[in-house]
Homo-oligomer: A and B are copies of this chain.
Amino acid sequence: MPTMLDVAKRAGVAPSTVSYAINGTRPISEETRQRIFAVMDELGYRPHALARGLASKRSRIIALHFPVSERGLGITELEFITSAADAATENGYNLVVWPSELHDQNKLRQLTQQGLVDGMIVMEVCLKDERIDLLREIDFPFSMIGRCADAEDIGYVDIDFAKTLQDTINYLAELGHKHIAFLNQSQEIFDSGYGPAVRAQAGFEQAVRQTGLEGVTCFCHATPRAGHEVFNDLLGRCPNLTAIVAMNDRAIPGIMQAVADRGWRIPKDLSLVAIISSAHIAEMMMPPLTTADAPTTELGRLGAELLIRQLEEQEKSVAHVLLPCHFVSRGSSGPCYRNA
């Protein structure tokens, strides 16, 4: 492997000149620039990433902190990773994934202090999140996919839950539904302050109030079995129910089963809308689900770009981006016929 010195010698210039030519950190005469680049690919030279990082104090590596949660891994998460990695690559960065328990502060501290990564993208953020506290405390650059409670001074991208729920409820209201349930994630997740669970809940309540509908909420573990049980509860509590908004993909098959068990049909007897979901999930179901798809690739990409921008700019600019879900009407929702 040739080094920069080899290139410099061969091109008859100082090593630093090669460095400046590569980084564009300083004007170089077109002539020598050409010569240097010619030599570079004559020798097949590649800058050594570690050496560069050590000298410049910037590794051009960013980390994606990837907590493994109760909810388990979904397609959504995968798309965060790949789109964030893509964006990183396009900007000359590498992306390391750092999967770990949510609460392992030590591991986190280690990663941030070994000089390997310039910054970090944090996902699966809770309103009150230990990781955020730590990162703030040690003043380590990061961005969030999601957002914690007091996030004014931090860059983030998140889903616009208020709008998503408002849109969804409006849609159902226009179809004539008056009694709508919201199927949230589990009580434990909600209580832990997991952003989406809390914000979607608030959005639902707000939207329902504003639209003058009756709304009931239930929490549900991420399994078909739990969905099945919860549906029957729900009907007990609200016999006039004609529509369900579910933010819990894994419970949905159970809901659908329970609906079928009762001799009902979707969407005739019940409309079902999955939010923060994905087309792939939706199309696996029968009928295919009406969904508000999470803008996963945008979230991942922006999460990375926000961080990188912050890393490259002198004054720390904090951007806050809220993205709407993409609403797609498929077969699981329709006009309300019951108690019309």
Contact = CB atoms under 8 A, between A and B. Distances in A.
A142 to B, nearest CB: 17
B253 A283 contact: yes
A12 interface: no
A99 B121 CA distance: 17
Interface in A28-73: 44, 46-51, 53-54, 59, 61, 66, 68, 72-73
Contacts of A89: 98-100
Interface-central residue, A74, A79, A96, A260, by most chain B CB under 10 Å? A96
Given A48-B115, A51-B54, A281 B280 contact: no
Interface string A228-270: 0000000000000000000000101100110010000000000
A68 B85 contact: no
A284 B281 contact: yes
Contact of A97 (B74, B75, B81, B115): B81
Given A68-B82, A73-B79, A96 B61 contact: yes
A305 interface: no
A113 interface: yes
A82 B73 contact: yes
A116 interface: yes
A23 interface: no
A88 to B, nearest CB: 9
A144 to B, nearest CB: 20
A59 B68 contact: no
Contacts of A110: 46
Contacts of A19: none
A75 B284 CA distance: 14
Contact of A285 (B68, B75, B260, B284): B284
A50 B54 contact: yes
Nearest to A94: B96
Contacts of A82: 66, 68, 73, 97, 99
B286 A256 contact: yes
A94 B105 CA distance: 17
The interface centre, meaning the residue of A72, A74, A77, A94 with most chain B CB atoms within 10 A of its CB, is A94
A256 B256 CA distance: 15
A74 B76 CA distance: 9
Contacts of A223: 283
Interface residues of A, number: 53
A82 B95 CA distance: 14
A109 to B, nearest CB: 8
Contact of A113 (B1, B73, B95, B115): B1
A51 B115 contact: yes
Interface in A275-322: 280-281, 283-286, 288
Interface string A1-32: 10000000000000000000000000000000
Given A50-B50, A72-B280, A260-B286, 8 more contacts: A48-B115, A50-B115, A89-B98, A94-B96, A94-B116, A96-B97, A224-B283, A250-B284
30 contacts: A44-B113, A46-B114, A47-B114, A48-B115, A49-B116, A50-B50, A50-B53, A50-B115, A51-B54, A51-B115, A61-B96, A61-B116, A66-B82, A72-B280, A75-B75, A78-B78, A81-B97, A82-B97, A82-B99, A85-B97, A89-B99, A89-B100, A94-B116, A96-B97, A250-B284, A252-B284, A253-B284, A256-B286, A284-B284, A286-B286
